[in-house]
Chains A and B, each alone.
Chain A
Amino acid sequence: MLIELLIGLCLLGALVVFTLPDRYVPTAALTASLFPLVTSFVMLAGFDASGNAFLGGELAYETTVRWIELAGLTINWHVGLDGISMPLLVLTTVLTTLAILTAWTPIDARRSQFYGLVLFLEAGLLGVFAVLDFFAWLVFWEAVLVPMYLLIGIWGGPRRKYAAIKFFVYTNVATLVLFVGFFALVFGLGDSISSLDMPAIAQALRNDQLGSLGGVAPGTIKLAAFVALFAGFAVKVPLVPFHTWLPDAHVEAPTPVSIVLAGVLLKMGTYAFLRFNFTMLADVARQYAQLIALLAVVSVVYGALLALAQQDLKRIVAYSSISSMGYVLLGLVAYTVYGVGGATFQMISHGLLSGLLFACVGVIYNTTHTRMVGDMSGLADRMPITTGAFVAGAFGYMGLPFMSGFAAEFFVFRGAFGSPTIGSPLLTAVAMFGIVIVAGYLLYAMQRTLFGEFRLDTDYEVGRARLHDAVPLLVLLAFTIAIGSAPDLAFGMIREAVGPLVEGVS
């Protein structure tokens, strides 16, 4: 029942916050977000799952209740956690609480609506990682769009309306495409499944129980469904060339929303890749592994090159997400413990690091009212905490040992080089080269904005970060270093869940 409690607490918090007067809302929202946060850590402490949720593993906090039944379509309320979803759940609660803290300075209008929507968003995101029935899962997957659309649209920058509708339409189209693809599989399976339970579907598909549907052969259905699902999730991730909504959404979104967007929302896409394309349709994924790896490498390099060309700090961080997500895909398609486990670890690591960098950019923007690299320099003296956090986060991104980025990238490359599916090590080598570009743009941006002589083209007083601005930075940094120096904190349970997936792949 803990998962229902977790989601219920977020919804209840959203409802309470939504009705409170603006004056009390920031504190109330922070308090409301602490309940799910604490619950998620309690769940982490009592976590006792083993194996992979989709491959017959033992789940933690599992509930199954029959929900809806319509002539052959049975939908259960089936929730449960394994070693892949548990860390993502914790990531969500941590980042939401910190995002609420970072909102204290920049959000000064219609606060009750803002914080209410953030908590509503949290409920949706938690559901995506915890629900195991397709239709129930889709409810949460789609429900996320509503608060995100409004958060970008109401509190965003000058081009917020365009960015919000673009985000909504892109991701909505993607969902409908994957929906049709998935149902071709469901009806192709016919009587071999009795509900839309995703683990059951995954096992039926892996046991080759797919029949033909409307005269189309099973192999074709599988391939078509794989493409539909892949395209659907690629928009969310995003992969080049489906990425164009991302910089718009990020640049226009207020900082706290960017943190959740980059930190958790993008992970919905990679998480779904892992569960659908790489678990349910593993044979198709393995068959086309080299093509997928190529797509991943293109995303890494192209995303990094795009970041290199930006002058806006926020855009730089936004584009860097595209290359990080490329690494996730590369790890997934490698089909080794380190590859898939490293990809999952990278989801957590990137959530923390991109959250940290966005929070830093947010603090800088709130103080200087500009994000353009050319408008400022030498902020280090005036803003020591923020500068320190930004530099640390950037080095974490580049893969400094003892920070989570190092462990994540090391795992992914280790897994990809030993991969039975990707074949030639050349692709991995090119992907590794992407780190050099990442280092290039981050160092260049830091050198110009943070170091050198102080100069600021806007008329604002620059002072030290306030407590509620500094806390998120320091907490995120602490988490990054913790799982960077002791990766097994997260990787232990991830490895447990990934094991059955890569077993017997050669």
Chain B
Amino acid sequence: MALPEWLALAPTIVLGAAAFALFAIDAADPRAENGALLAGTATLGALAALAFAGWALIAGTGTEEPITLFAGQLVVDGLSSFFTVIVASVAALVTVSSYDYLRGRGDQAEFYSLVMLATIGMSLMAAANSLVTVFLALELSSLPSYALVASLKRNRGSVEAGLKYFLIGALSSAILVYGISLVYGVAGGLRLDAVAEGVATTDLTGVLGVGVLMVLGGFAFKTASVPFHFWAPEAYEGAPAPISALLSSASKAAGFVVTFRVFTTAFGLDLAGVDWVLAFQILAVATMTLGNLAAATQETVKRMLAYSSVGQAGYVLIGLAALGGGQNAGVLGASMLHLLVYGFMNTGAFLFVALAEHWEVGRTFEDYNGLGTRAPVACVAMTVFMFSLAGIPLGGGFFSKLFLFAEAVGAGFWWLAAVGVLNSVISVYFYLRVVRAMWIEEPGENLGRIGEYPVGIYTAVIAAAVVTVALLPGMFLVDGVASDAAAHLF
């Protein structure tokens, strides 16, 4: 018996079911004490989505022949399943750790259901196949995120961050939707394949160029790339740490998947009017350089991680910037692998910060001094994240980052690889600062409060570390999926 086609959307559907279940639980029993039930429901939903998406990849649902749904508005293929895996994994880690982070707060049900709604938006971004669904999915992921960033209502930093995030988000949404309208005007269609057909024959290249650049701007906001990156450090620092993890890992990955799909499918490599590969080259260099240089000058760990995530977005942009050099599937596949590993190592790092916030050890590098003597297991995990982010083979980040540089050289963009190398060197400095503080420096007095070991955050941090390490030898499990999915875009 053949399953109905809409079941290909199972990951998104279970996320939606989890969100409604959370509303139902809250309506039936609006007490604050049932945190375990709420966190459990949300985590179960995320894990089920992860399982369905992973199963789709293993079973080959849509990986050879994409499944289009709702008159081509959504598509389920290797790319969408791959990114749903990333988004759902991050969401699961975030909801598990929020169990401790939210303890005693009254708005837990809202928190978890907003996380679920944002995650649905991100998984739809992975599947969006027309400019309308792209925009709707992007808004669905953004609107709950604004509220989540500001969810520490009595914390001025949190509220300020939420406001900034919202204002810049609203501005960039406006730019995106205007760009979409210009592209529509030129192409006469909204589905990505219709756009591709329309732009191939148009002579309105000027209008199209402006539209494409505006769309690019909207995506740059979502991926926290220069020039729309400056909300990121504020939002990540002010937001509750698990939400920073969600935004900087999952939301960024979702931003990249729409960028990959829209630019390769709808606009294509030989687009008349604007050389968007060149635009991505400029963005890649600017994003990684600016992110890493700014990260090197930070005093607090969370803000360093925020800028580092801008820098990492710059590495991922190499995947778009090195297109057209004969290694298209290779570079784009490497970008996808980097986002996958990054989903775990970066989430883990932010959740470690959540742990430190839970213990109230402080925010600066110096406050972490000697933490390794008091909480060795968590600090080993953080060491794995830091080295993996720096591209040292304690984790899968080594492979994915060097794949990007290697494929860039192969595509003839050796200078992009060289800029990446320089950035990588700068990044070693600030990632090692955390390692040095935890293991080498003498313990400070602020460590006295470390008494309890919150089980949720610990589980999430250690799970993220185990996956990060396992992706080093286990890269062979995901390499084929990534390069196949990338190859189908061209």
Residues of A bordering B, CB below 8 Å = 66-73, 110, 135, 138-140, 142-143, 145-146, 149-150, 153-154, 160-161, 164-165, 168-169, 172-173, 176-177, 179-180, 183-184, 186-187, 213-215
Q: Are B476 and A73 in contact (CB under 8 A)?
A: no
Q: Which of B325, B337, B436 contacts A161 (CB 8 A)?
A: B436
Tell me, yes or no, whether B466 is within 8 Å of chain A by CB: no
A65 to chain B, nearest CB (A): 9
A169 to B432, CA, bound (A): 10
A-B contact pairs, 20 of them (CB 8 A): A69-B480, A70-B337, A71-B330, A71-B333, A72-B410, A73-B410, A135-B402, A138-B402, A139-B393, A142-B392, A142-B393, A153-B439, A164-B440, A165-B429, A169-B425, A169-B428, A172-B425, A173-B425, A179-B405, A214-B325
6 A-B pairs with least C-beta separation: A214-B412, A71-B330, A187-B410, A71-B329, A183-B409, A176-B421
A173 to B432, CA, bound (A): 14
Interface centre among B327, B439, B440, B480 (most CB of A within 10 A): B440
Q: Are B387 and A180 in contact (CB under 8 A)?
A: no
B50 to chain A, nearest CB (A): 23
Closest chain A residue to B482, Cβ basis? A70
Q: Are B436 and A69 in contact (CB under 8 A)?
A: no
| CB contact list, B441-490 vs A, under 8 A | 472, 475-476, 479-480, 482-483, 486-487
Q: Are A146 and B439 in contact (CB under 8 A)?
A: no
Q: Are B439 and A150 in contact (CB under 8 A)?
A: yes
Q: Are A168 and B486 in contact (CB under 8 A)?
A: no
Closest chain B residue to A72, Cβ basis? B330
Tell me, yes or no, whether B344 is within 8 Å of chain A by CB: no
A165 to B487, CA, bound (A): 41
Closest chain A residue to B332, Cβ basis? A71
A173 proximity list for chain B (CB < 8 A): 425
20 new A-B pairs (CB below 8 Å) besides A69-B479, A70-B483, A164-B436? A69-B476, A70-B334, A70-B337, A73-B403, A110-B373, A135-B402, A138-B393, A142-B398, A145-B392, A165-B432, A165-B436, A168-B428, A172-B428, A176-B405, A180-B417, A183-B410, A184-B409, A186-B410, A214-B414, A215-B412
A249 to chain B, nearest CB (A): 15
A161 proximity list for chain B (CB < 8 A): 436, 440
Tell me, yes or no, whether B418 is within 8 Å of chain A by CB: yes
A456 to chain B, nearest CB (A): 31
Chain B 225-237 near chain A by CB (<8 Å), digits 1 or 0: 0000000000000
B406 proximity list for chain A (CB < 8 A): 73, 179, 183, 186
Q: Are B402 and A146 in contact (CB under 8 A)?
A: no
A73 proximity list for chain B (CB < 8 A): 330, 403, 406-407, 410
Q: Are A67 and B486 in contact (CB under 8 A)?
A: no
B428 proximity list for chain A (CB < 8 A): 168-169, 172
Tell me, yes or no, whether B399 is within 8 Å of chain A by CB: yes
A143 to B421, CA, bound (A): 18
Tell me, yes or no, whether B424 is within 8 Å of chain A by CB: yes
A161 to B327, CA, bound (A): 42
Q: Which of A71, A110, A168 contacts B483 (CB 8 A)?
A: A71
| CB contact list, B275-298 vs A, under 8 A | none
Q: Are B414 and A168 in contact (CB under 8 A)?
A: no
Closest chain B residue to A150, Cβ basis? B439
Q: Are A72 and B327 in contact (CB under 8 A)?
A: yes
Tell me, yes or no, whether B176 is within 8 Å of chain A by CB: no
Tell me, yes or no, whether B18 is within 8 Å of chain A by CB: no
A108 to B41, CA, bound (A): 49
B436 proximity list for chain A (CB < 8 A): 153, 161, 164-165
Q: Which of A69, A110, A180, A215 contacts B409 (CB 8 A)?
A: A180
A139 proximity list for chain B (CB < 8 A): 393, 398, 472
Tell me, yes or no, whether B394 is within 8 Å of chain A by CB: yes
A186 proximity list for chain B (CB < 8 A): 406, 410
Query: Given A161-B440, A180-B409, are A149 and B330 also a contact pair (CB < 8 Å)?
Result: no
A183 to B432, CA, bound (A): 27
A364 to B439, CA, bound (A): 29
A71 to B475, CA, bound (A): 14
A179 proximity list for chain B (CB < 8 A): 402, 405-406, 421
Query: Given A72-B410, A138-B402, A180-B418, are A143 and B334 also a contact pair (CB < 8 Å)?
Result: no
A138 to B406, CA, bound (A): 13
| CB contact list, B188-217 vs A, under 8 A | none
Q: Are A180 and B421 in contact (CB under 8 A)?
A: yes
A71 proximity list for chain B (CB < 8 A): 327, 329-330, 333, 407, 483, 486-487
B424 proximity list for chain A (CB < 8 A): 172, 176
A424 to B328, CA, bound (A): 51
B90 to chain A, nearest CB (A): 23
Q: Are A169 and B327 in contact (CB under 8 A)?
A: no
Closest chain A residue to B325, Cβ basis? A214
A140 proximity list for chain B (CB < 8 A): 393
B216 to chain A, nearest CB (A): 25
B371 to chain A, nearest CB (A): 14
A147 to B398, CA, bound (A): 16
A317 to chain B, nearest CB (A): 25
A183 to B402, CA, bound (A): 10
Q: Which of A143, A160, A180 contacts B414 (CB 8 A)?
A: A180
Q: Are A68 and B479 in contact (CB under 8 A)?
A: yes
Interface centre among A145, A150, A184, A214 (most CB of B within 10 A): A214
A67 proximity list for chain B (CB < 8 A): 475-476
Q: Are A149 and B402 in contact (CB under 8 A)?
A: no
A68 to B333, CA, bound (A): 13
B424 to chain A, nearest CB (A): 6
Q: Are A68 and B476 in contact (CB under 8 A)?
A: yes
A69 to B486, CA, bound (A): 13
Chain B 366-394 near chain A by CB (<8 Å), digits 1 or 0: 00000001000000000000010000111
Q: Are B475 and A68 in contact (CB under 8 A)?
A: yes
B399 proximity list for chain A (CB < 8 A): 68, 135
A147 to B312, CA, bound (A): 25
B444 to chain A, nearest CB (A): 16
A164 proximity list for chain B (CB < 8 A): 436, 440
A342 to B233, CA, bound (A): 57
Interface centre among A153, A169, A183 (most CB of B within 10 A): A183
A68 to B341, CA, bound (A): 15
A172 proximity list for chain B (CB < 8 A): 392, 424-425, 428
A143 proximity list for chain B (CB < 8 A): 392-394
Query: Given A139-B393, A146-B392, A180-B405, are A70 and B414 also a contact pair (CB < 8 Å)?
Result: no
A145 to B432, CA, bound (A): 12
Closest chain A residue to B475, Cβ basis? A68
| CB contact list, B423-439 vs A, under 8 A | 424-425, 428-429, 432, 435-436, 439
A184 to B387, CA, bound (A): 26
Closest chain B residue to A67, Cβ basis? B476
B307 to chain A, nearest CB (A): 19
A451 to chain B, nearest CB (A): 39
Q: Are A169 and B483 in contact (CB under 8 A)?
A: no
Q: Are B403 and A70 in contact (CB under 8 A)?
A: yes
A68 to B417, CA, bound (A): 21
A204 to chain B, nearest CB (A): 16
A168 to B435, CA, bound (A): 13
A161 to B480, CA, bound (A): 42
B337 proximity list for chain A (CB < 8 A): 70
Interface centre among A72, A138, A164, A186 (most CB of B within 10 A): A72
Closest chain B residue to A215, Cβ basis? B412
B327 proximity list for chain A (CB < 8 A): 71-72
A187 to B322, CA, bound (A): 15
A142 proximity list for chain B (CB < 8 A): 392-393, 398
Q: Are B330 and A154 in contact (CB under 8 A)?
A: no
Q: Are B393 and A169 in contact (CB under 8 A)?
A: no
Closest chain B residue to A154, Cβ basis? B440
A180 to B410, CA, bound (A): 10
B309 to chain A, nearest CB (A): 21
A73 to B333, CA, bound (A): 11
A169 proximity list for chain B (CB < 8 A): 425, 428-429
Closest chain A residue to B406, Cβ basis? A183
